Homo-oligomer: A and B are copies of this chain.
């Protein structure tokens, strides 16, 4: 028993070291110039050992996605507990999401080029990205379900997946943002949320309701 625990813990430590080395390299060198060989060197393990834990560089990208989303969720949770208005809660999820990405701003364009093809395994909409994506969609669901709002149930149900797609749009704009601290993206988010707050009460009107539901459903279908 004890011996197994020790082995598992050694294995977990090796895995964590490889993961940390990959993240460091992704930040320093970017996606394209990071190789399994460089990661193994940095982590002081053999290349074979690195491949044992992560079958490809893209598995390390997925590992990175999950770590970023863990941080995103941890920061968001604390703040969500303090707010009840829907738009305030959405603002928290969007803003903490961008904050968790800050270390990757400089390397974001390279990642974007590698992930944008619809069949890329590191595309945020791919089957491979489900673990990280489910965490983000879950955060938006938590934001919607814990909020005081008077949205029709069908619209509220579609909202988390549609908000995830709009979050990807925001991150795309952020990748292009050369302004200090990406303040243009922050201001765009702020203006968008203010208009959303004005628009939300209208969603209950019959014509607006059905068209909004249809638009949201089509937005969520981007993934299929």
Binding site for B on A (CB under 8 A): 109-110, 112-114, 116-119, 125, 169, 173, 175-176, 178, 184, 187-188, 191-192, 194-195, 198-199, 202, 207-208, 211-212, 214-215, 218-219, 221-222, 224
Contact = CB atoms under 8 A, between A and B. Distances in A.
Contact of A215 (B116, B188, B222): B188
A184 B222 CA distance: 9
A13 to B, nearest CB: 36
A224 B116 CA distance: 22
A120 to B, nearest CB: 8
A198 B208 contact: yes
A211 B187 contact: no
Stoichiometry (number of copies): 2
Nearest to A119: B109
A118 B174 CA distance: 11
Given A194-B211, A212-B195, A109 B113 contact: no
B212 A176 contact: no
Contacts of A222: 173, 176
B191 A215 contact: yes
A212 B218 CA distance: 24
Given A117-B109, A222-B173, A211 B184 contact: no
A194 B214 CA distance: 11
A138 to B, nearest CB: 23
A188 B218 contact: yes
Contact of A113 (B113, B192, B211, B212): B113
Most buried by B among A192, A199, A215: A215
A212 B188 CA distance: 10
Given A113-B117, A198-B202, 19 more contacts: A109-B117, A109-B118, A109-B119, A112-B116, A112-B117, A113-B113, A113-B116, A176-B222, A178-B224, A184-B221, A187-B214, A191-B211, A191-B215, A191-B218, A194-B211, A195-B212, A198-B207, A198-B211, A199-B199
